[in-house]
Amino acid sequence: MAFKNKDIVSINDLSKSDIIHVLEVARKLEQKPRLHLLDGKLMASLFFEPSTRTRLSFETAMQRLGGRVIGFADPNVSSYGGKGESLSDTIRMVERYADVIVMRHPNDGAARLAADIARIPVINAGDGANQHPTQTMLDLYAIKKSQGKIHNLSIGMLGDLKYGRTVHSLAIALSLFDCRLFFISPDSLAMPQDIKDDLRNKGITHTEHLKVEEVLSKLDILYATRIQKERFPDAAEYEKVKRAYVLTKELFTRAKPNLKILHPLPRINEISTDVDETKHALYFEQAACGVPVRQALIALVLGRLK
């Protein structure tokens, strides 16, 4: 598709060739930074939910290419959080100030709502438990960098597959690349049925497991996730599963040599710090991939690159 003026709301809106194109543009920008590519452009960064990496890497992406940023990292300082202004009115104002909106919001579907209202491109930086498409693109970029390919890999996703938006977007994207998927979670945090149905319709092999040991030795990628405490309707339910998985260094003695562990971060207790020193740990390099990938996306939707 032509990216100019497009919204990036769901990974479902992108074809396989769109995704490959974004990764290729990101690779070129990483190799050869273009310091004035976004001169004169302004990004509105609207974060209605906490963020460290996503917000900072979007802002870094913009500023390192010569663009500028306005916005808020805490909705309580905005009229939305402080005075009760609607999201629609907030977007109607911001679209008159900026050239592109990057938004994170606790409600599923908020990014689609904003995109329908705004005449400028809206990039979804996470909407509730629904989608996180730009995280997926940086995850794919990190996978490609570490494995030399995305196709035909065995990929485990572990942790909170019910409320984790990163794994929802990632599973859908990987279905385009003929990967074998292994979903490892407590029963109560299984991958949503609609995503499993979608995979089945596309003929993607996927199996469900309670224990990581059942599949670890087969994996090329283990994608661990945080149990999403803030999305549990009932605190007692969170208590039951909050330590469902704690990956330690010993576990990986049985892993394939090329296995890489990814995590969108923040980690709470899913990956013990002794794993950081192993050759399998990729999560900090993964986080760094956010900058070139978000540079590519911003430059494409603003029409500064094709």
Spell out a b/e string for 143-175, using b for 16 or more CB atoms within 10 Å of the CB, else e: bbbbbeebeebbbbbbbbbbbbbbbbbbbbbbb
Give the one residue of 41, 53, 280, 294 binding ligand NCD; rule: CB under 6 A: 53
Contact status: 196 vs ligand NCD (CB under 6 A): no
Contact status: 166 vs ligand NCD (CB under 6 A): yes
Minimum Å gap between C-beta 166 and ligand NCD is 5
Minimum Å gap between C-beta 129 and ligand NCD is 9
Residue 176, Cβ density class (10 Å: 0-12 exposed, 13-18 middle, ≥19 buried):
buried
d(Cα 125, Cα 128) in Å, to the nearest integer? 10
Single out the residue of 24, 41, 229 nearest to residue 121, CA to CA.
41
Query: For residue 175, what are its two tokens?
Result: 């279905």
Q: Is 54 marked active-site?
A: yes
Q: What are phi and psi of 83, to 5 degrees?
A: -125, -5
Nearer to ligand NCD, 126 or 292 (CB): 126
Nearer to ligand NCD, 161 or 305 (CB): 161
Nearer to ligand NCD, 204 or 262 (CB): 262
**Bond before 266 cis per omega within 30 degrees:** yes
Nearer to ligand NCD, 41 or 132 (CB): 132
Give the one residue of 132, 144, 162, 294 binding ligand NCD; rule: CB under 6 A: 132
Q: Is 53 marked active-site?
A: yes
Q: Is 32 marked active-site?
A: no
Contact status: 304 vs ligand NCD (CB under 6 A): no
Q: What are phi and psi of 243, to 5 degrees?
A: -115, 35
Contact status: 180 vs ligand NCD (CB under 6 A): no
Minimum Å gap between C-beta 205 and ligand NCD is 26
The angle that helices 16-31 and 290-301 make with each other, rounded to 10 degrees, is 110
Catalytic residue (choose from 41, 54, 134, 267):
54
Q: Is 132 marked active-site?
A: yes
Minimum Å gap between C-beta 276 and ligand NCD is 17
Q: Is 200 marked active-site?
A: no
Footprint of ligand NCD on this chain (CB under 6 A)? 53-54, 126, 132, 135, 165-166, 226, 264-265
Query: What are the residue numbers of the active site?
Result: 53-54, 83, 104, 132
